[in-house]
Structure 1
Amino acid sequence: MLVADDEAMVRAGVCAILARDPAIEVVAEAADGLAAVEAVREHRPAVALVDIRMPRMDGIAAAARIYRELPDTATVMLTTFGEDDFIARALRSGASGFLLKADDPRELLAGVHAVAAGGAYLSPRVAARVISGLRTHGMPVGAAPHHPVNTLTEREHSVLSLLGVGLSNAEIATRLHLVEGTVKAHVSAILGKLGVRNRVEAALAAWESGLVSPVR
């Protein structure tokens, strides 16, 4: 994977955490957004962990370019900033995950594994902000859904509800007793029908449409 942050000490700390997991290999580091894009182009890592505020090109712009030009690499945003505007912009950029530097190191490892497996991951504090926003600004009960979930088949509804809680294709396949390729096809169909660009946006659509309920 790639680690991109303009602070060398932060990169060293992140790499030290990742090194605890023998299943994770850091193949490149970058000190700015443009270098991050170039490193992804050269090394084609499964995951790029990218800070938001970096010189030359910020992390959100880098994530958008990676998503557009190198879609086989999933991007996870890692930042000290948890403001809603950053979260929304990161998700719109095509990022598959969002972590805060103040999170427990175990969240970093969990997020990398989830995204590498084709899932989406929001740290608990970020997820709480998103859910709170949906509660405050989402649809009133009984209103027409913003996303056309009524166009989905019964099986696609099931897949979307599990995608909404962050499960990977393999985990969804196990839960629904399907092969992983079938789940992947369902996910592609769901993205097309909902008019969303990635799994995170689809997961938010699941929350907004009431297919996933927050634990009380």
Structure 2
Amino acid sequence: MLQCNFQFQYADFNLTAELNMQDQLLGIMGASGSGKSTLLKNIAGVLQPFKGSIVLNQYSLFDDQQRINVPMYKRRVALIFQKAWLFPHMNVQQNLRYAEHVCTSANRKFSFHQVVDLLELKTLLRRQAYQLSGGEAQRVSIGRALLSSPDLLLLDEPLAGLDQRLKDQILPFLNIVKEQTCLPMIYVTHHPEELAYLNAQVMCMEKGKIS
């Protein structure tokens, strides 16, 4: 489904990724600075490798030999960061609806109401983004990612900075997304208990290499 074989170099940092994702949820662990976030950014198109290929569902996202580098907005890959990046001048409903513009109605995988129900966002729809708690904002961020109808969902330490109470709120929602959407996901974290809860396949990254 996802095949990565590329090299990335920035300053004194080198990343060599060989990844063949088979399971629906792949967890990647590693120390800070090991290259986990850089890996996700290369897959999403935020960063560009200098060599290799990235293939999703038999569609080349990057290939240096064929000079292919699909722009980020065309990759059908959603990346959720540690901090929920919402439009502060919009309410929750407007933030969610914004994601629907990136795909045609024929290609939509989830309906607005399906995502709202899935993540229990109905009571938050009229609330401004800046009024949300950290856990609420991250739920909206996940919902917006789903409404962009991606073929792959990348989560870069989505629970970082949240206290245990909020983590305990978000993890069940992530499990619901996993169980009910069948959407392939790569989940980066420092915390093995999160991956255990989600029953993820786990790989480790050390000094820019996955094992």
More helix by share: 1
* Structure possessing the higher relative contact order (Cα contacts under 8 Å, 6 or more residues apart): 2
Quickly name the TM-score band, shorter chain normalised.
0.3 to 0.5
Q: TM-score normalized by structure 2?
A: 0.34
More strand by share: 2
Q: TM-score normalized by structure 1?
A: 0.33
